[in-house]
Amino acid sequence: VEDFFVAIQGTGHNSGCAQRVLRVEDMQQDPLNPPKFRHKRAPAAAGSPPPPVMHSPPRKLTQQDQAEWKIPPSISNWKNQKGYTIPLDKRLQADGRNLQDVSINDKFASLSEALYIAERQAREEIRLRNEIKKQKKIKEEEMREQQLRLLAAQARAERSNLLQQRKEGQEEDEEARKKREAVARERQREIEREMRLERNKRGRNDEDRDVSERVALGLPPTKKAAAGEGVFDTRLFNQSAGVDSGFDGGNDEAYNLYDQPLFANRSNNAAIYQFSRERLINSVGHTGDVPSFAGADRSTFTRTAPVEFEKDVSDPFGLDNLLSEAKKK
């Protein structure tokens, strides 16, 4: 800040003062403003001439040199703003992997050789193991065949013994059957003789009966009645039990349409079927040699329940059990 004293000489300033004080101050500046002063570089003076550059004569560019000087375009693996389809060889060239020298370690050769030797040894061990298993299996098959032969021989021997015993038992059964049949035939003849005698006796007694007694007993009419003599008995017309008295004495709840059965004596009816063993043998054949189940006796056994069957055994001779026991040993 500087102060100046100025004398007043003009008429326009007649304020009564002889002089004035003029103060001059510097304008305030921002200390953060950049400096306005600039350094200017003066042009350099002319020096010595530059040294000459020696060039070899131009030569023709070969294809190999051109391929070596070829710079592949820079392709990003992450960005493709235009969305172009970039060939794979261009991407590989951009990676620069062709410029690297690939060196293979010598350990790879030793590793491959060791793997080859280990594989060959493993194959040899597997072959020997399979050969041992095959020999063992052949021996087991031979032992099994030998055991089966022995068991088959035992089964054949037992079967021959059983057949012989069955044949002897069949011969004994045949003799006993013949005896039983003879006794049955004799008994049948006696029964038929008694029936004939009883029929003749009853026939002689029935001839003297009147019509009412024959009707009450359910006997057929005589030849005289069939011819028309004495077909009706007058004593039967005056009985209290008839249609007038109601059926069954007036019992409406009963369901008895007939007062007597149709066949009072079935032994007199020759039309009813009767079993005959001789007729069965003549038509079908002899069935006495058919063997029954073991332990069954038809003469003494009486069935009180349905027939029971035995389950068929898949291994009747126990071959599987013998083989399993032999393997365990």
Least confident of 167-171, 295-299, 300-304, 314-318: 295-299
> 23: helix, coil or strand?
strand
- pLDDT of 300 reads 58
Closest CA to 220 of 273, 274, 270, 275: 270
Report the predicted TM-score, pTM, of the whole model to 2 decimal places: 0.23
Give residue-wise pLDDT tens across range 2-51.
666 766 666 665 566 667 777 888 888 898 988 888 888 888 888 888 88
Distance CA 167, CA 159 (A): 12
SS3 content of the chain, % helix, strand, coil (to 5): 50, 5, 50
Give the rounded percent of residues in the chain with a pLDDT score beyond 70: 67
Summarize the confidence of residues 230-238 as an average pLDDT: 58
Model confidence band, residue 129 (pLDDT cutoffs 50, 70, 90): very high
* Higher per-residue confidence, 290 vs 329: 329
Task: State the DSSP string of 151-191.
Answer: HHHHHHHHHHHHHHHHHHHHHHHHHHHHHHHHHHHHHHHHH
* Higher per-residue confidence, 144 vs 261: 144
Give the rounded percent of residues in the chain with a pLDDT score beyond 90: 16
- pLDDT of 113 reads 95
Amino acid (1-letter code) at residue 191: I
Distance CA 59, CA 170 (A): 128
Other Cβ atoms closer than 10 A to 211: 20
- pLDDT of 6 reads 66
Q: Under the phi-then-psi rule, with left for phi > 0, alpha for psi from -120 to 50, and beta for the rest, what region is 250?
A: left
Distance CA 66, CA 71 (A): 10
Instruction: Assess contact for 102 and 88: CB atoms under 8 A.
Output: no
